């Protein structure tokens, strides 16, 4: 399993200067499942890009925002602490963390709920 964590400025379709499609092309070269946690404006767009790929079942995606949402409704430090606290739960699957929290806080029609084609215990 590969854990990919990014905290960066984002736009629809990219974060930290990396286009999600190109990043996923590189990650597809790594065998096994991938967990992607992205704290960035518009990070919800990653979920929809992953869903269009043949390798969709290899990715567990946890975005911090909706597709058209900037990360201004939450403190990045609070979000980072929430994710860290949520992930460090011996014996509990990530889906338990995802089900407890709604990352997106706007009434957007696109949700930022995680994409869980598989589950993992860290």
pLDDT digits (tens, 9 = 90+) for 61-103: 888 888 887 776 555 566 666 666 655 566 666 666 554 444 4
CB 9 within 8 A of CB 65: no
| pLDDT of residue 14 exceeding 80 | yes
Q: What is the pLDDT of residue 31?
A: 95
Q: What is the pLDDT of residue 13?
A: 96
Which pair of structure tokens corresponds to residue 79? 């979000």
**Centroid of chain to Cα 121:** 16
Q: What is the pLDDT of residues 23-49, one digit of tens each?
A: 999 999 999 999 898 888 898 899 989
């Amino acid at each position: 399993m590969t854990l990919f964590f990014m905290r960066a400025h984002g736009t629809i379709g990219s974060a930290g200067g990396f286009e999600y499609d190109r990043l996923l092309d590189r990650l597809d070269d790594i065998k096994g499942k991938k967990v992607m946690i992205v704290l960035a404006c518009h990070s919800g767009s990653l979920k929809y890009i992953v869903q269009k790929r043949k390798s969709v079942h290899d990715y567990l995606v946890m975005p911090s925002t909706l597709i058209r949402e900037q990360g201004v409704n939450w403190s990045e430090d609070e979000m980072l602490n929430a994710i860290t606290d949520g992930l460090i739960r011996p014996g509990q699957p990530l889906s338990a963390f995802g089900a407890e929290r709604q990352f997106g806080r706007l009434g957007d029609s696109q949700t930022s709920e995680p994409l869980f084609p598989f589950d993992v215990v860290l």
